[in-house]
Structure 1
Amino acid sequence: MRLAPLLLAAALCAAPLAASANPDFWKQEWPRTDFSRTSIENWVEIISGGPPRDGIPALSDPRFMEVAQESRIGGREPVITLEIEGARPRAYPIRYLTWHEIVNDSVGGIPVAVTFCPLCNSGLTFDRRVGGEVLEFGVSGKLRNSDMIMFDRETESWWQQAIGTGIVGVHTGTELRQMPSWMESWDEYRSRNPDGLVMAEPDYNRSYGRNPYSGYDSSARPFLYSGELPPHGIAPLARVVRVGDRAWPVARLARAEEIREAGLVLSWRAGQASALDSQSIARGRDVGSIRVRDGDGTDVPHDVLFAFAFHAFYPEGEWMLK
């Protein structure tokens, strides 16, 4: 696998830290984190992804603009769409989330964290309210099973992004409520929501629109991952649709275009570029857009992530192969 410069730098930084990952080691960097409370059994699973805490800067209180005013985003570029009753729809472009990974926002009176882990292709939106307190999330710089570990600034507990669960600190075992959101093309979003909003470009010096993980989702193996590979001959970086502890291969869904199973309606539509393929996100190969609804047509929380990540976090999960 040919690593892009960002991945190569992270690999060089992470290599010496993987073997020494243990609570005492991490306490030096995280003196406020309560390491006596954790669900981690093997601390070697926790490694540095390269950047330090906040080296990937999460965003808070982002600016938004009218859909009609946005001219920089390519029509096939992916965005995470959040539609909450009583609020104008919002789109969070992956061209920005690739470089920031977390956006702390408030929509319709609900404090949310819109998250994207490029190494797992996991894009999830969470309610930030926990026990009557509103948390603000940052990027820890740590990985587990190649997935981003978030932290909250209030207690500096660590949270696993792919499952939205506290894994270290006072919030160990706490599950964030996942909000229904989905990834679709910019063209799809603005066609359906001409009066909607889109997150404006952040005030950082980043190459927005460029994919620093060029060719990643065509790789034979995940980056910084040493766990078991998925069963059934499924490629580690094949995309799957996760709902609860079930996973549907996107390849199966793309062939059928619609699947009705387990009380759900999963639909696939061509037109969305992969954010992890070509150097330019807008030119990525077509991986399609996916919606998941229940029998009443209500959107259901789900994720479209790589198969290896589903297997790592849901080892007893059900594979919906036919």
Structure 2
Amino acid sequence: MIRALAALIIALAGSVSAQPSLWQSAWPDTDFSKTTVEDWSEIISGGPPKDGIPALSDPDFHAVSDERGLEPREPVIALELEGATPRAYPIRYLIWHEIVNDEVAGVPVAVTFCPLCNSGLTFDRRTEVGVLEFGVSGKLRHSDMIMFDRETESWWQQAIGEAIVGELTGTRLQGLPSWMESWQSFAERNPGGLVMSEPTEHRRRYGANPYVRYDSADRPFLYSGESPPHGISPLERVVRVGDRAWPLSRLSEEDRIEEAGVVLSWSEGQASALDTQRISEGRDVGDVRVRDGTGQDLPHDVMFAFAFHAFWPEGQWMLARD
């Protein structure tokens, strides 16, 4: 049923998405004449309308020691900026809201999570036109969330952090080092840290996974592009650093990989957010850290292989040591 619905949405989208003027009523302030998108049929509706998935802004936090609801294996996005108290953003909230607009040590940030690509990235919201606030457009491209800024209503591709439609087309956001890890791992490393509090302005089944068994499916939802090469499953996780991707299966076997100027490490203990009905009960996919040769954390992503291939078709697959 889900596959049939996805096929129908893609088919219907193909007949109208080549005419962005049809979106003008919902997006009156978006300049569709400026874009890097060559094929409008790549952009389709994911189902919810503009702001149908409500992004969050200025969330509340509480001390790690006061947290009582998170299970040890639940994933969080960890953000540890210099001069700031470390913060954890639980995926149990991001899976329902996808974007959190926050400010950490004077740095305006957007913490993002696209469930359909398993892409969790943090961006600096400062640009040449000022600080932006982001929302969820309801549109997808290659199954990846398209964000929008409320200042110009330009559309931004979450996986690459770049504006693809509108006044700010071509502008790139600066990625910040953050990573997905288990709540237990974050709490043990940062007993004096902060964790995002449960949003009170929305009623959601926090802790539940609305994408049950998604990461073990044969094909991604609402994706019509090519499968990745080398026989890699479309929904296998890969660690992306720049335009290189290391299969998580390789990293979990070796525990530590040092090549191409980066050091990747893996340890068990993190539940998949896209497996069982309860996020905390998902199978173990482990924690990944990515650092440079001096031990500094690097911006990276642990995303599905199909999304890496879609956005980096000429990217390098790090399948084995030379």
Q: TM-score, normalised by structure 1?
A: 0.96
Question: What is the distance in 2 between the residues matched to 1:193 and 1:205?
Answer: 29
Question: What is the distance in 1 between the residues matched to 2:61 and 2:8?
Answer: 37
- The question of whether the paired residues in 1 share the 8 Å contact of 2:9 and 2:222 is answered with no
Residue 37 of structure 2 aligns to a residue whose secondary structure is coil
Paired residue for 2:13? 17
Report the Cα offset of residue 57 of structure 1.
0.2
Report the Cα offset of residue 28 of structure 1.
2.5
Of 154, 158, 171, 1:157 maps to 154
- The question of whether the paired residues in 2 share the 8 Å contact of 1:110 and 1:127 is answered with yes
Residue 181 of structure 2 aligns to a residue whose secondary structure is strand
Question: What is the distance in 1 between the residues matched to 2:4 and 2:47?
Answer: 9
Paired residue for 2:198? 201
The reply on whether 1:42 has 2:39 as its aligned counterpart is yes
Residue 31 of structure 1 aligns to a residue whose secondary structure is coil
Report the Cα offset of residue 31 of structure 1.
1.0
Paired residue for 2:29? 32
What is the correspondence of 1:69-218 to structure 2 with a 5 Å cutoff? Answer: 69-203=66-200, 204-218=202-216
Question: Closer, same or farther in 2 for the Cα pair 1:105/1:9, shift >3 Å?
Answer: farther
Of 62, 67, 71, 2:64 maps to 67
Identity, % of aligned positions: 69
Paired residue for 2:265? 267
- Return the letter of the residue paired with 2:307: A
- The question of whether the paired residues in 1 share the 8 Å contact of 2:6 and 2:221 is answered with no
Question: What is the distance in 1 between the residues matched to 2:198 and 2:269?
Answer: 23
Report the Cα offset of residue 23 of structure 1.
1.5
Question: What is the distance in 2 between the residues matched to 1:269 and 1:19?
Answer: 46
Question: What is the distance in 2 between the residues matched to 1:290 and 1:14?
Answer: 34
- The question of whether the paired residues in 2 share the 8 Å contact of 1:213 and 1:277 is answered with yes
Question: Closer, same or farther in 2 for the Cα pair 1:77/1:30, shift >3 Å?
Answer: same
Greater shift after overlay, 99-108 or 20-29?
A: 20-29
Structure 1 gaps of 5+ residues are: none
Paired residue for 1:318? 316
Report the Cα offset of residue 19 of structure 1.
2.4
- Return the letter of the residue paired with 2:206: Y
Residue 16 of structure 2 aligns to a residue whose secondary structure is coil
- The question of whether the paired residues in 1 share the 8 Å contact of 2:144 and 2:159 is answered with yes
Question: What is the distance in 2 between the residues matched to 1:279 and 1:11?
Answer: 24
Greater shift after overlay, 107-116 or 20-29?
A: 20-29
Instruction: Tell me the matched-pair count.
Output: 318
- The question of whether the paired residues in 2 share the 8 Å contact of 1:271 and 1:287 is answered with yes
Report the Cα offset of residue 27 of structure 1.
1.7
- The question of whether the paired residues in 2 share the 8 Å contact of 1:10 and 1:49 is answered with no
Greater shift after overlay, 207-216 or 8-17?
A: 8-17
Question: What is the distance in 2 between the residues matched to 1:265 and 1:38?
Answer: 36
Deviation string for 1:4-49 (max 9, x for gaps)?
Answer: xxx9888776653342112212223211000110001110000000
Question: Closer, same or farther in 2 for the Cα pair 1:158/1:58, shift >3 Å?
Answer: same
- Return the letter of the residue paired with 2:287: S
- The question of whether the paired residues in 1 share the 8 Å contact of 2:155 and 2:163 is answered with yes
- The question of whether the paired residues in 2 share the 8 Å contact of 1:14 and 1:50 is answered with no
Greater shift after overlay, 11-20 or 145-154?
A: 11-20
Residue 290 of structure 1 aligns to a residue whose secondary structure is strand
Residue 191 of structure 1 aligns to a residue whose secondary structure is helix
Question: What is the distance in 1 between the residues matched to 2:96 and 2:238?
Answer: 23
- The question of whether the paired residues in 2 share the 8 Å contact of 1:10 and 1:50 is answered with no
Question: Closer, same or farther in 2 for the Cα pair 1:11/1:87, shift >3 Å?
Answer: farther
- The question of whether the paired residues in 2 share the 8 Å contact of 1:95 and 1:210 is answered with yes
- The question of whether the paired residues in 2 share the 8 Å contact of 1:18 and 1:48 is answered with no
Q: TM-score, normalised by structure 2?
A: 0.96
Report the Cα offset of residue 237 of structure 1.
0.1
- The question of whether the paired residues in 2 share the 8 Å contact of 1:181 and 1:301 is answered with yes
Deviation string for 1:44-80 (max 9, x for gaps)?
Answer: 0000000000000000000001101111111000000
The reply on whether 1:230 has 2:228 as its aligned counterpart is yes
- Return the letter of the residue paired with 1:103: V
Residue 173 of structure 2 aligns to a residue whose secondary structure is coil
- Return the letter of the residue paired with 2:151: E
